[in-house]
Structures are given as C-alpha cells and as structure tokens.
C-alpha cells in the first residue's frame, strides 16, 4: 500500500481570505435575516446595532474579496478556475451523477484531485458562479445601499433602491444556499473532517 500523497492546495493568503470570508458571510446571513424582522421590541440586539454589524461584515467581505481576486491573478491558484471547452457540459453532468448515485454505490470519483486538478468540474463551475458573479453582485449592490444617493431614482416604474435591494437579497439568499451545499460537499471524503482540516492547515491528502 502506498502512503497518501500530500498536496499544498491552500496557501496562507487563500486560507486567510477564506477565514475572513466565511466568518463575514456567516455574519451577513445572520444579521441579514434578522434585519427582515423589523419589530424592534422582539429583538435581543437592537435594529440599529444589527445594521451596523451587517455593514461591518460587508466591509470585511469586500476587502477580503480583493485579496481573493488579486491573489487569483498573481499566484498559480487562478489556473484551477480555468474552464476548457472540451466536455463543458458532459464533465459536470458526470460529476453530478456521481454525487447523486455513484458515490452511494461505491463508484470511484470520476475526477480525482491531483496537482493539476484541485476542483472537480461541477465544483469549479459553482465556485466561479459564486465568486465571480454572486459575491461581486452582493458587494456592488451592498455598497450602493450603503450610499443610496448614487442609485438611480427609477428603473421603469420601480424605485432604484427597491430594485437594488431585491438583487442584494436574492444573491444573498443564493449564497446562503451555496453555503449549505458547500459544507455538505466538503464533508464528503475519506473522513468527514478531512477537507475542513485542509482549509485550515493548507494540505490536501490524495488517497
């Protein structure tokens, strides 16, 4: 039996970004949901305090996003996000079938991770959608809501602030759903805690 190979998948800058981002987004989700209930007397923490915490968490996520964005340009980590046209749909579908059926029937993972492949094709698409679409939309709309004077007055018959808030909440909701799936998928492996240890110590074990 050969010893498992260890790959240094998560350099320090990426782990620091991930830590700030994860805590920041968790804080945004919790404060964002509690802001939906505006009955002041029913809240343990006052509404103003919740808004302040939401704004601070938003700024933390925004600043750490720049670390992620620039880090993926100036370090080799960005290459793991590149998509090849061959098997554009076939590959993620194969991975989805594995998640829905194969892994419960002892099938080997169709895209085992290696030094060249850090993400399976489905995971890669989801990370791209979340990190290069959903999170930027939440950041831009969040900043706009922080400075509402920059928002245009009307979008057709709707108020610009209302439309911005709808986009902001919808994307926030999408990221919340992603987070649940992300944590579930991260728990799949030789042992449920293995990937969580990797994102803390940087090393991924290939079996």
Binding site for ligand HEM (CB under 6 A): 10, 14, 18, 21-22, 25-26, 77, 118, 127, 130-131, 135, 175, 179, 182-183, 186, 195-196, 198-199
CA distance 115 to 206: 9
Q: Please, which residue, 47 or 119, has the CB nearer to ligand HEM?
A: 119
Q: Please, which residue, 159 or 201, has the CB nearer to ligand HEM?
A: 201
CB of 68 to ligand HEM, least distance (A): 8
Looking at the DSSP bridge assignments, the partners of residue 204 are 7
User: 47-78 as b/e, with b when 16 or more CB fall inside 10 Å?
Assistant: eeebeebbeebbebbbebbebbeebbeeeebe
CB of 9 to ligand HEM, least distance (A): 6
Chain-centre distance for alpha carbon 129: 9
Q: Which residue from 103, 118, 126, 136 is spatially nearest to 21, judged by alpha carbons?
A: 136
CA distance 143 to 163: 14
CB of 162 to ligand HEM, least distance (A): 25
CB of 123 to ligand HEM, least distance (A): 6
Q: Please, which residue, 59 or 186, has the CB nearer to ligand HEM?
A: 186
Helix (H) or strand (E) holding 195: helix 194-201
Q: Please, which residue, 1 or 180, has the CB nearer to ligand HEM?
A: 180
CB of 119 to ligand HEM, least distance (A): 6
CB of 87 to ligand HEM, least distance (A): 20
Q: Which residue from 137, 177, 197 is spatially nearest to 15, judged by alpha carbons?
A: 197
**Tokens (6 digits) for 151:** 């928002």
CA distance 165 to 44: 25
Q: Which residue from 8, 147, 13, 144 is spatially nearest to 68, judged by alpha carbons?
A: 13
Q: Please, which residue, 11 or 102, has the CB nearer to ligand HEM?
A: 11
Q: Please, which residue, 62 or 195, has the CB nearer to ligand HEM?
A: 195
């Amino acid at each position: 039996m050969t010893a498992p190979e260890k790959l240094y998948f998560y350099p320090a800058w990426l782990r620091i970004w991930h830590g700030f981002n994860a805590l920041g987004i968790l804080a945004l989700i919790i404060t964002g949901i509690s802001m939906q209930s505006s009955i002041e007397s029913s809240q343990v923490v006052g509404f103003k305090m919740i808004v302040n915490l939401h704004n601070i968490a938003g700024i933390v996520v925004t600043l750490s996003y720049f670390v992620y964005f620039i880090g993926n340009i100036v370090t080799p980590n960005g290459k793991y996000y590149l998509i090849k046209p061959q098997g554009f749909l076939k590959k993620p579908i194969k991975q989805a079938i594995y998640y829905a059926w194969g892994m419960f029937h002892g099938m080997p993972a169709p895209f085992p991770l290696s030094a060249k492949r850090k993400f399976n094709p489905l995971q890669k698409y989801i990370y791209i959608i979340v990190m290069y679409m959903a999170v930027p939309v939440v950041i831009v709309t969040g900043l706009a809501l922080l400075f509402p004077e920059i928002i245009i007055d009307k979008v057709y018959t709707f108020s610009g602030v209302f439309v911005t808030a709808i986009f902001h909440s919808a994307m926030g909701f999408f990221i919340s759903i992603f987070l649940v799936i992300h944590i579930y998928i991260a728990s799949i492996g030789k042992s449920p805690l293995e990937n969580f240890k990797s994102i803390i110590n940087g090393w991924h074990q290939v079996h």
